[in-house]
Every structure is written in structure tokens, then in C-alpha cells.
Chain A
Amino acid sequence: MNSGGVRNLGALAFACCLAVVAMSTLAGLAAAQSDPNRFNRLMKPPAERNSPPPTDGIHDPENEGTYLLQTPLEAFSPMPKSKSGNYVSWNKAIDENAIAPRNNLGEQAMPPIVLDLNIVREVKGSMPDVVYPHKQHTQWLDCANCHPAIFIPQKGANQISMASILLGEKCGVCHGKVAFPVSECRRCHSRPKQQTAVN
């Protein structure tokens, strides 16, 4: 046998090793799936995040067009990561110029009108107060998207509750649908309550 044959054999052995590793990994995966007490059984494992359209469960794998669509992983590859939603940080992506979403349809690109104004909402209950940053919101949205239909632009005029947000109203019009999910409590409830003097 010449050296080429040996190399070929080596490559084949390498391929076999890979296949064995793959099979054992998969066996492990299958076992993990069937274990009733597996860790985080209701949570989506990292391998299932950002699935490509043909295997994501809502695109029809029998449809030819499904295979032409851009996959989320490819689209998100230049973007900074996060731990929820799309698993990317949309605001960091803009701040770091990882993406440059257009602000208008015309030939001449117009920059957004950004308003840097924080609104603090003192909340009932034990949760920290909510700090609402206009800055991050106006990078994406126009004033008229929220005011006055969703939020009356006047201090104290808006009744907001977590119940209404969970039902898709107020902040819930976007958060919990396309903006970061409502499970990220501390991203809004971020300012510790001011201690009141106790006599």
C-alpha cells in the first residue's frame, strides 16, 4: 500500500470516528429527551434556538420557498447576543453599528429623531420602579406610534398594570410579541425604590 492509500485510510478512520461520536451524542440527546426529570424540561435547549425555517414547525417543509428564506442564525450572526427573545440585543446592535435599519423608504436616508428622556414610574408593590427610556424607543419608533393612542403623553394619565401588559396592551403591544419578552422583569423594573424614613 502506498502512502496515499494510508492517508485515505486515515481519512476514512477519521470519518468513522466522527460518525461514532455523532451517534453517541445523538443517543445521549435522545436519552435526555426521554428522561422525565431532565434538567430544565420546559425550557428550550440552546440547540433549538433560532431554528432554520424548514425545521421551525410553522414553515411548511413541503413548500419550495421555505428553503430559500434566510435563516435566523445567519441574519443574527453579526449581532451582539442576549438571553431571551431572538437571543440578540437589538439596541446594542444599533449602537454598535452591527445593523443599520433604514428609517424611511425614500432614496435619501433620513436619521431617526431620537429623544433622550427617561420616565420613572413609581410602581405599587415590592418591585423596583420602572425606568422607561425614550432614547431606545425613539431609535426605532416615531412619537405617533405610541402617542396618544397607546400612551397619553401626560404624567399620571396612564393606568398601566402587568395584567394589561400580559394581555397585549400598553407595553405589551410590542413587549412579549416582538420586543424583549415580559419575563425580563428587571430590564424595566430597574430602579430600586427610594427608602422612606421610618420613625
Chain B
Amino acid sequence: MTMSKHRVMQFSAKFLASVLLLTAIAVFSYYEAAKAEYGDVVMNEFSDEAGMRPVVFPHWFHRIRFRCKVCHGDLGFRFEAGGNGINMLKIIDGEYCGACHDGDVAWSIENCDLCHSGVPNTPTHVHHSTVQKLVAPLPSGTADNSAADDEPGETE
């Protein structure tokens, strides 16, 4: 009996140590740079104005579950971040996100903060996209550009 109790204690000490280690690494490896997933789409056409956080759409998450043509063909999403004029009314009417986010195929719209989860004032863009890097860099300090700001050699 005592042996197993000690094993448990030993295990819990190891477990605690591992948790501490992982937490420390997580905290230290985090610095200001945005390192969100390739293809994360931020949509902020109406959110900021309406006092909501911008929407972060994880494209990769949906691509694991559905082929491109389901949304970009059957549901009519254009290939353009912020190019669909999506608002909550359309979603409630079953258009765009609302085709699945109806509490049936996927969780329904009362889970506001699962979509509206972006850092306030982040502009509409596709994260890490070539266009974003070359054509329309975001204002300094927001999202992707902060990575460059962290470089010691960079000037403001």
C-alpha cells in the first residue's frame, strides 16, 4: 500500500515539475510578435465599429473538415478576406457561416467570443499572406508587423 502511495507522490512531483517546465517555456518563448497560423483570416469590416473584437477565421481548421469548394463554391464565399460583406443578419438567416454554425453542423451563434476573438483594431487581412507582406503592410505594432519591429537592426 505505502509503496503505491509513494509512487503516486513521486509521479505527482514529476508531473508538477513537467508542468512548471512547460509553463516556463510557454511564457518565455512568447514575445510580442504575431505568430498566428498560416492562413488565419482576420475580418474586421464591422466588428470594431460595433464594439466587438474582430473575427479570427481559422482557415486551416475548416480545411481539415471541408474541401475548399464547399464554402467557396456551394456557400458562395469569394476568395477575398473581407470581400463577402458578411454580417450577423446574414449569418442568422443561414448564409455564409450560418450555413453550418446553426447548432447542428457546428456550434451556433450565441458563442460570440469563439469567432470574435481577435485583438481589437487588427485590420482585415490573411495572416502571413504574400500580399500583406509586400503590398499593404499593417501599421507598426499590429499583428504581423510586430515581428519585424522586434528585430534589433530595424529602425522604427
A residues neighboring B (CB under 8 Å):
3-4, 7-8, 10-12, 14-15, 18-19, 21-23, 25-26, 29-30, 33-34, 36, 41-42, 44, 47-51, 53, 55-60, 63-66, 68-70, 72, 75-76, 85-86, 90, 99, 101-105, 112, 139-142, 144-145, 166-168, 172-174, 176-178, 181-182
Closest 4 CB pairs of A and B: A57-B34, A65-B113, A176-B130, A11-B13
Q: Which residues of B contact A76 (CB under 8 A)?
A: 60
Does B153 have its Cβ within 8 Å of any Cβ on chain A?
A: yes
CB under 8 Å from chain A, chain B span 16-48: 16-18, 20-21, 24-26, 28-40, 42
Given contacts A70-B61, A173-B79, contact A58 B127 (CB under 8 A): yes
> For the side of the interface on B, what is the size category?
35 or more
Q: How many A-B residue pairs have CB under 8 A?
A: 211
Looking at the complex, which one of B2, B42, B69 makes contact with A58 (CB distance below 8 Å)?
B42
Complex alpha-carbon distance, A166 and B130, angstroms: 6
Q: Which residues of A contact B122 (CB under 8 A)?
A: 58
Q: Is A57 within 8 A of B42, CB to CB?
A: no
Looking at the complex, which one of A34, A49, A58 makes contact with B143 (CB distance below 8 Å)?
A58
CB under 8 Å from chain A, chain B span 40-63: 40, 42, 53, 56, 58-61, 63
For residue B107, give the distance in angstroms from its CB to the closest CB of chain A.
10
Chain A residue with minimal CB distance to B18? A18
Q: Is B39 within 8 A of A178, CB to CB?
A: yes
Complex alpha-carbon distance, A14 and B21, angstroms: 12
A-B contact pairs, 20 of them (CB 8 A): A4-B2, A8-B13, A11-B14, A15-B20, A21-B21, A22-B20, A26-B28, A58-B122, A63-B116, A69-B117, A85-B38, A86-B60, A90-B63, A101-B65, A102-B67, A145-B79, A166-B130, A167-B131, A172-B131, A177-B129
For residue A13, give the distance in angstroms from its CB to the closest CB of chain B.
9
Q: Which residues of A contact B31 (CB under 8 A)?
A: 33
